[in-house]
């Protein structure tokens, strides 16, 4: 089955700087890659996603890149703010109706 | 904004007891899921449910687990005889038809503590 690896497990970034989180996936049939943000005591919430027919997608301060050949995808957060502090999960999904498989998560700390 | 709601938010139970976790998915959604997250670890898939039957389940979802959609709104996860290692946060999620692969809407979770 699909396996998603995520790095780093913890990331501390000065407020205003950029943060990058990287993931790899194992199943070349995966075609959908969402990123979820989990704040303390809450469920994961989708922040951005990318499909396999696209190499990059941007939404304000957040961007995601996908390299299908290398089976890598990354989340980039620019101009980080205190409210960006959370746990971020990458995930992969093969089929429209299939489950999504999560990475282990990255705890992002934005330092004042 | 519509949201997935889960009850209870926290349940403490003795090992060997039965537990039922309840979820009300978003009303026009057709696909339902349960995930669990052991403290500090990743979110793990348990089961997916569509058209009143299980569409897929993981190795974690053994005979002690069952799911049910008893009416048009609730989606429940039952653990028949809880074990210590069942202690975790359980998340319900739902997805509408046609929303595209993988976009799941999660509830805030039910924390289960097994003593």
CA distance B42 to B46: 12
User: What is the pLDDT, as a whole number, of residue B100?
Assistant: 52
Nearest to B56 by CA among B64, B65, B47: B47
Substitution target in B32, B102, B107 with the highest count of A β-carbons within 10 Å is B102
- B100 contacts on A by Cβ (under 8 Å): 32, 51, 96
Mean pLDDT confidence for B101-105: 77
Q: How does pLDDT run across A1-52, given as a tens digit for each residue?
A: 789 999 999 999 999 999 999 999 999 888 899 999 999 888 899 999 998 8
Q: How does pLDDT run across B70-90, given as a tens digit for each residue?
A: 887 899 999 999 999 999 999
Confidence of residue B98 (pLDDT cuts 50, 70, 90): low
C-alpha torsion A41→A46→A47→A49, nearest 10: 150
Residues A78 and B84 sit within 8 Å (Cβ to Cβ): no
Q: Rounded to 5 degrees, what are φ and ψ at B2?
A: -60, 145
Q: How does pLDDT run across B10-61, given as a tens digit for each residue?
A: 999 999 999 999 999 998 888 899 999 998 888 999 999 988 899 889 999 9
Confidence of residue B1 (pLDDT cuts 50, 70, 90): confident
Mean pLDDT confidence for A74-83: 97
The answer, for A97 touching chain B at a CB cutoff of 8 Å, is: yes
- B43 contacts on A by Cβ (under 8 Å): 44, 89, 102, 105
User: What is the pLDDT, as a whole number, of residue B30?
Assistant: 87
Question: What is the nearest CA distance from B54 to chain A, expressed in angstroms?
Answer: 12
Q: Residue A22 to residues A55, A94, B63: CA-CA distances in angstroms?
A: 15, 19, 36
- A94 contacts on B by Cβ (under 8 Å): 101
Peptide bond into B8 cis (omega under 30): yes
Query: Do B101 and A102 count as a contact with CB atoms less than 8 A apart?
Result: no
The answer, for B106 touching chain A at a CB cutoff of 8 Å, is: yes
Q: How does pLDDT run across A36-50, given as a tens digit for each residue?
A: 999 988 889 999 999
Tell me which DSSP letter residue A70 carries.
T
Query: Shortest CB distance from A43 goes to which of B41, B45, B108?
Result: B108
Q: How many CB atoms neighbour CB B36 within 10 A?
A: 24
Q: How many CB atoms neighbour CB B41 within 10 A?
A: 13
- A51 contacts on B by Cβ (under 8 Å): 100-101
Query: Do B102 and A91 count as a contact with CB atoms less than 8 A apart?
Result: yes
The answer, for A45 touching chain B at a CB cutoff of 8 Å, is: yes
Q: Which chain A residue has the Cα nearest residue B36? A: A43
Question: What's the order of all strands across the beta sheet hosting A56-59?
Answer: A4-7, A19-25, A72-77, A62-67, A56-59
Q: What radius of gyration do chain A's Cα atoms show?
A: 13
Question: What is the nearest CA distance from B44 to chain A, expressed in angstroms?
Answer: 7
Confidence of residue A90 (pLDDT cuts 50, 70, 90): very high
Buried b (16+ CB within 10 A) or exposed e, A96-109: ebbbbbbbbbbebe
User: What is the pLDDT, as a whole number, of residue B102?
Assistant: 61
Residues A108 and B45 sit within 8 Å (Cβ to Cβ): no
Query: Do A34 and B45 count as a contact with CB atoms less than 8 A apart?
Result: no
């Amino acid at each position: 089955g699909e396996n998603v690896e995520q790095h780093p497990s913890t990331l501390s970034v000065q407020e205003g700087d950029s943060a990058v989180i990287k993931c790899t996936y194992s199943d070349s049939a995966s075609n959908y890659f969402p990123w979820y943000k989990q704040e303390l005591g809450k469920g994961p919430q989708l922040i951005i996603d990318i499909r396999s027919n696209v190499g990059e997608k941007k939404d304000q301060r957040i961007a995601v890149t996908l390299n299908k050949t290398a089976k890598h995808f990354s989340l980039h957060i620019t101009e980080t703010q205190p409210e960006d502090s959370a746990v971020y999960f990458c995930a992969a999904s093969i089929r429209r109706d299939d489950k999504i498989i999560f990475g282990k998560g990255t705890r992002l700390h934005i330092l004042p | 904004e519509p949201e997935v709601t889960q009850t209870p938010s926290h349940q403490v139970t003795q090992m060997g007891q039965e537990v039922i976790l309840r979820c009300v998915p978003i009303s026009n959604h057709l696909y339902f899921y349960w995930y669990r997250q052991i403290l500090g670890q990743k979110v793990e898939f348990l089961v997916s449910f569509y058209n009143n039957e299980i569409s897929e389940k993981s190795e974690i979802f053994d005979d002690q687990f069952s799911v049910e959609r008893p009416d048009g709104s609730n989606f429940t996860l039952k653990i028949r005889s809880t074990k210590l290692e069942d202690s975790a946060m359980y998340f319900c999620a739902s997805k509408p038809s046609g929303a595209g692969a993988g976009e799941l809407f999660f509830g805030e979770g039910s924390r289960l503590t097994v003593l």
